[in-house]
Amino acid sequence: MCGFIAIISKGEKPVSVEQLQRMSQDIIHRGPDDFGMWTQDWCGLAFRRLSILDLSEHGHQPMIDPTGEYVIVYNGEVYNYQSLRSHLQSEGILFSSTSDTEVVLQSYIRWGEECVSKFVGMFACIILHIPTRRIFIARDQLGIKPLYWTENRDFIFLASEIKAFRHAVAFSLNEASLYEQLLFRYVSGTGTPFKNIYKLLQGTYWRFEQGAAPQMYRYYNVTDSLKTKSLMSEQELLPRLEELLKESIRLHTASDVGYNIQLSGGVDSSFITAVLATDWEQQLDTFSITLQDREFDESQYQQMVVARYATRHHDYRLSDVEFDAALEKATWHMDIPIVHLGCVFLMVLCHESVHNSKVILTGEGADELFGGYSRYIIDKKTKLAQQLKRLGFCAAMFPSLPYFNGLKNRMNRSTLDSSLYVSKPDMVSFFEGIPENLHFRENTIRSMVSYRDQLFAHDQTCYLCSLLDRQDKMSMAASVEARVPFCNHLLFEMINPVPDSVKFRGNRTKSLLKTVAEHYLDASLLHRKKIGLVLPLGRWLRSGPLSERLSLLTDQTARDRGFYNHKNIVAAIDAHRQNRRDYGNYLSILIMFEVWMRMFIDDPFRYRGDANVSFS
């Protein structure tokens, strides 16, 4: 929807309006339709608006209530705002706009901090009570909308994107996060790859009182619902699930500028398309992007949905040259090392779709909600290994015989290991002296007993956040609001307590969603093997423009970092070029990290997102 900046003075030093303006300029892509500011000596707010609901000036922000006592900046959409508005009106509260921003503000005035528990949607907001200088800062239950903060001696700074902080503090690498960033491609919890720059944790709000230290409260933790078990039968659950899914999809279409659908050809986005086409009988605009490479082309599954539901389909083909040319821009908009090379595809897709609508619906969250990854399928030896570990056995107790080797390997493999994108020993071998730090992920897993619940807890609080961050930043790069109907916290509260025997009926991933979708989608689409976006990185790094970036890993700038194992990196590049081993995944991660280092850490003012600067 939008983006905002806030500067809060810690003492007597007044907020700089000029600094606030400079910071807000860095997020203009999040809201090119309108700009607003509110400043006093003790606090300043700046807002960039992407107009989607109530396109009139009544939706302008920062928004001040009729009494003049409260002011809000708010990014996102609260999808149940109309029912909340009706409730507030029944209590005599008057509204001057049809925007959800005013509903959020009046909800806070009426219910205080408890208002966030009534919201269904995605949001990050700051609300000030001007007479008392009390400040309320909140983020949605699942972390769909971003919010970051940092500080110096005189001020606390908040922003929708990290890049704005370059006008406030010096950027430096958070070396404590390096291990996690490289192995999992994302820093979980409140951390970021930047030293002393933090995320506001999902499901959290802050309270600032005049003269007191800020207090943080965790009002929602999605893993709490994993700790209870539902007694509802599958026959009772399925119709309720279908109803809630359809209601969530319907709510996510609320828009005064229409909407598009990001159609990948997978079950999730195909189901969203099918529900909207069937239940609301309208022709839909679907968008997809694929490689100019037949080997990795999944357009046949997109065409199944397009043909069955007669959508207006817009398909774009991306070459390796176009992919390489977009890397700097994608890195600039991500703020962090690119978490997945699919970022480039999402950004390009949204740049194409914005000509039709500023809103796009996507299927993010379904895999984390329903268990859509192959790691959720447990074979007999894995099940036995988990049982033995719970009883106190360890792998060393079993002899090194062929029958036991598979069992021992599974016993030695941690839950976190199953979520790795690359081999831990191989990835770590490219670095020297980096501390192992996975505290947030490890603590999340320890809070659960069963192997699958550990996977769900990790995916819903760590991995999902990386996907939502990617979706937000890459869509906002094109001034597009991405909406995620599966990321409704009410859906997680319904599905998390369901027993594994129901979630994985027939040892199938996403069994519940596939059962609901059976009368919407073709069986060949529903039951095909999950592939995801696969790129020919091995080939691209042997020839073509991406291969030219390998020099980033061996030049003097890289040698001077102090944490690369130069010998192992050179050996991997040689082995890859000579086709002795495919190091494509590893080398691409290192390249993306080095591009980010040069853009944000070495010289954060060299690149602005619209400049033609290439790091190669």
The C-alpha atoms of residue 424 and residue 179 are separated, in whole angstroms, by 10
Asked if 56 and 97 touch (Cβ cutoff 8 Å), the reply is yes
Rounded to an integer, the average pLDDT of 140-166 is 98
C-alpha 473/C-alpha 482 separation (Å) is 9
pLDDT score of 610: 56
- Tell how strand 63-64 and strand 285-291 pair up: unpaired
The pLDDT score that the predictor gives to residue 585 is 92
Q: Do 2-220 and 224-371+466-526 agree at the fold level? A: no
Least confident of 28-32, 169-173, 219-223, 406-410: 406-410
Torsion of CA 161, 162, 165, 167, to 10 degrees: -80
Spatial contact of 590 and 427, defined as CB atoms under 8 Å apart = no
Which of 335, 343, 338 has the alpha carbon at shortest distance from 289?
Answer: 343
What are 9-18's pLDDT values in tens digits?
999 899 999 9
The C-alpha atoms of residue 378 and residue 102 are separated, in whole angstroms, by 48
> DSSP of 412-434, one letter per residue?
H--TGGGG-SS-HHHHHTTBSSP
Number of H helices and E strands in the chain, helices first, is 25, 17
Out of 3.40.50.620, 3.40.430.10, 3.40.50.720, 2.40.480.10, the CATH code matching 224-371+466-526 is 3.40.50.620
Q: C-alpha dihedral over 487, 492, 494, 495, to 10 degrees?
A: 110
Query: Highest mean pLDDT: which of 88-92, 229-233, 377-381, 448-452?
Result: 88-92
For 2-220, the fitting CATH number among 3.40.50.11540, 3.30.70.20, 3.60.20.10, 3.40.350.10 is 3.60.20.10
Q: Is 123 left (phi over 0), alpha (psi -120 to 50) or beta?
A: beta
524: left (phi over 0), alpha (psi -120 to 50) or beta: alpha
Per-residue pLDDT, 416: 80
Residue 168 pLDDT > 80, yes or no?
yes
End-to-end CA distance of the chain: 34
Using one digit for the tens of pLDDT, what is the confidence trace for 505-528? 988 999 999 999 999 999 999 988
pLDDT tens-digit map of 119-139: 999 999 999 999 999 999 999
Q: Is 253:361 a contact under the CB 8 Å cutoff?
A: yes
All structural domains of the chain with their residue ranges: 2-220, 224-371+466-526, 377-426+433-456, 537-602
The pLDDT, as a whole number, for residue 420 is: 78
246: number of Cβ within 10 Å: 18
Q: Lowest-pLDDT range, 51-65, 74-88, 320-334? A: 51-65
Phi, psi of 235 (to 5 degrees): -65, -35
- The pLDDT of 341-359, averaged and rounded, is 95
Q: For residues 200 and 138, what is the distance between their CA atoms, to the nearest angstrom?
A: 8
CA 571, CA 553: separation in Å to the nearest integer?
12
The per-residue pLDDT for 161 is 99
pLDDT computed for residue 405 by the predictor? 57
d(CA 92, CA 420): 54
Task: Give the range among 200-209, 404-413, 499-508 with minimum mean pLDDT.
Answer: 404-413
Can you spell out the DSSP letters for 118-181?
G--EEEEEEEEETTTTEEEEEE-SS--S--EEEE-SSEEEEESSGGGGGGTS---B-GGGHHHH
The whole-model pTM stands at 0.93
Among 12-16, 434-438, 500-504, the least confident range: 434-438
Mean pLDDT is lowest, of 449-458, 461-470, 604-613, for 604-613
Cβ(13)–Cβ(152) below 8 Å: no
- Report residue 292's pLDDT band, with 50, 70 and 90 as the boundaries: confident
Please answer whether residues 354 and 480 qualify as being in contact, where contact means their C-beta atoms are separated by less than 8 angstroms. yes
Specify the range with the lowest mean pLDDT, choosing from 96-100, 177-181, 533-537, 598-602.
Answer: 533-537
Least confident of 59-63, 290-294, 568-572, 586-590: 290-294
Q: What is the DSSP string of 331-361?
A: HHHHSSS-S-THHHHHHHHHHHHTTT-SEEE
C-alpha span between 506 and 234 (Å, rounded): 13
Can you give the C-alpha Rg of the chain in angstroms? 24
Residues 144 and 76 sit within 8 Å (Cβ to Cβ)? yes
DSSP bridge partners of 122 = 77
pLDDT above 90 for 574: yes
Within 7-120, residue ranges assigned H as helices are: 17-25, 81-90, 100-111
291 pLDDT band (50/70/90 cuts)?
Answer: confident
pLDDT (mean) for 393-414:
59
- What are 295-313's pLDDT values in tens digits? 666 788 899 999 999 999 9
- Tell me what pLDDT residue 402 has: 61
Report the pLDDT value the prediction gives residue 533, as an integer from 0 to 100.
Answer: 72
Share of the chain above pLDDT 70, in %: 91
Average model confidence (pLDDT) for the chain? 91
Beta-ladder partners of 127: 72, 136
Instruction: Check residue 541 and give its pLDDT.
Output: 95
CA gap 62, 46 in Å, rounded: 7
- Using DSSP's 3-state secondary structure scheme, residue 325 falls into helix
Q: For the stretch 256-268, what's the b/e string if a residue is b when 16 or more beta carbons lie within 10 angstroms of its beta carbon? A: eeebbbbbbbbbb
Indicate if the pLDDT at residue 384 is higher than 70. Answer: no
Cβ pair 52, 481 in contact under 8 A: yes
CA proximity to 176, closest of 163, 149, 189, 195: 195
Quickly list DSSP for 196-218.
T-EEPPTTEEEEE-TTS--EEEE
Q: What average pLDDT does range 90-97 have in this prediction?
A: 94
Provide the token pair at 350.
């949204």
